[in-house]
Amino acid sequence: MINNEKQKLEANIWKFYLFDIFEAMLFAVPIIVLFWQENGLSLTQIMILQSLFAIAIVLLELPTGYFADMYGRKNILLLSGISFVIAISIYSIGFSFAAFLLAELFFALALSLYSGTSSAFVYDTLKQLKRENEYKKIFGKAKYYGFIAMAFSQIIGGFVGKINFRWTFYLTIPFYLLTVFITISMHEPKRNKLIVEKNNFKNHLRKLIKILKYSLINNIKMRWLIIFSAIIYAVNSAGLWLYQPYFKLTGIDIAYFGIIFASFQIVSAISSKYAHKIENKLGMKTSLIILIPIIFIGYLLTSKIIFLFSFVFIYFFQFVRAFSDPIFSDYINKLTTSDIRATVLSVQSLARRLLYAILIPFIGWIADVYSLVQAFAVAGIVTAVIGVIVLFMLYKDDVI
């Protein structure tokens, strides 16, 4: 390998770290539900907004991953950065459900462009450097830096939000602009390019269907890993938009929301950084099996024990959130090839978002009609029932 090429590829790694750091600087997270409510949205509308966001990602996920395989990871990451800038700019000047929905659609586009592409970009960079065995470590480290940045931004966001909720969005704009400039300087790693006879819609669709069949039908291990990944993501994230009302229920002052959310990111950062070590020690089978009971325990405790520091039970969800992502993507990366890697990873992300979109309106309805506590309890029951069934199927088909 020519030294100049090697240096450019190695630079991709620290540039990707910076991309994850800047993308994570969303100062509004600790007060976003309160911001929506201040602008006239009910809890039901908030859940609908997030469900539509998830559905948008479902619709965009496959095409964006496919385009990354066709036209390059760097180009798609650049579009992701631009979409982040547009989304946060709309939020900065929006005052209505319609404006927030438009912003969420651009966020959906940004995240779908980023999801499978980012993992494929890192893996193919390392593969060309002959360092692909370091993927879990490096991807986990990128998430670690992102979580630390998120923690910092959320502490600041809590204090700024105490003054003015909207200012938290203004603060994010320059950091999202930096993702665009960082991506421009990245170097496209070599990959086996998808071969399509004619550059028309029919041939692209045929190839896409072929990849779907490979991911979800022909490759049994791939299918169950994608399904299990979707279940873990959906049940683990089901209570996300209830955290802030839950904090108020336990008696926490709004001023401390940012610090609590920052503590979530610290837990996630540590989990992500050491995910590869934990997985190496436990092995694939145990690493997958423990996810369901950890989530179930989190919901059990949040629904049964209500006091000022009940937010510590949410750490269970933060561990799973950070630990599961690098190990699932690593397992799936090993089962596919570079020519379809971004598309397959987008299938995984699509499945996750689809199940999430189906689940959260139901959980939100339980919270509205009954109570937050019962919503957490129902989420725990759903986790246990679905988890036992899918673990049995994983065992039956010799995945674990």
Nearest CA to 82 out of 149, 182, 167, 188 is that of 182
CB contact at 8 A, 215 and 331: no
- What's residue 196's pLDDT? 47
Our CA angle for 67, 70, 75, nearest 5°, is 65
Q: How far is residue 65's CA from residue 114's CA, in Å, rounded to a whole number?
A: 9
Nearest CA to 29 out of 114, 88, 112 is that of 88
Please report, in tens digits, the pLDDT of each residue of the chain (400 residues total).
556 788 888 888 899 899 989 999 999 988 898 899 899 888 778 888 988 998 898 788 777 777 777 777 888 889 999 999 999 999 999 999 999 999 999 999 998 888 768 878 888 888 888 887 888 788 888 888 888 898 889 889 988 988 899 999 999 999 999 999 999 998 888 765 554 444 555 666 676 677 777 666 777 788 888 889 999 999 999 888 889 889 989 989 887 888 998 888 788 888 877 887 888 888 878 888 899 999 999 999 999 999 989 999 999 999 998 888 878 878 887 877 776 776 777 788 788 888 988 888 888 889 888 888 999 999 999 999 998 898 888 888 777 7
Burial class (CB in 10 A: 0-12, 13-18, 19+), 153: buried
Distances, alpha carbon 96 to alpha carbons 13, 92, 209, 389, in Å: 39, 12, 38, 42
Could you identify the residue written with the tokens 């990959």?
191
Q: How far is residue 230's CA from residue 236's CA, in Å, rounded to a whole number?
A: 10
Q: How far apart are the first and last CA of the chain?
A: 38
Burial class (CB in 10 A: 0-12, 13-18, 19+), 150: buried
Contacts of 302 (CB under 8 A, 6+ apart): 239, 246, 310, 313, 314, 376
- What's residue 195's pLDDT? 47
- What's residue 191's pLDDT? 65
Set out the domains of the chain in order of their start, with CATH numbers. Answer: 3-187+199-396 (1.20.1250.20)
pTM of the model: 0.73
- What's residue 398's pLDDT? 72
CB contact at 8 A, 62 and 343: yes
- What's residue 300's pLDDT? 95
Q: How far is residue 202's CA from residue 206's CA, in Å, rounded to a whole number?
A: 6
Query: What are the tokens at 376?
Result: 């957490």
Contacts of 204 (CB under 8 A, 6+ apart): 66, 70, 196
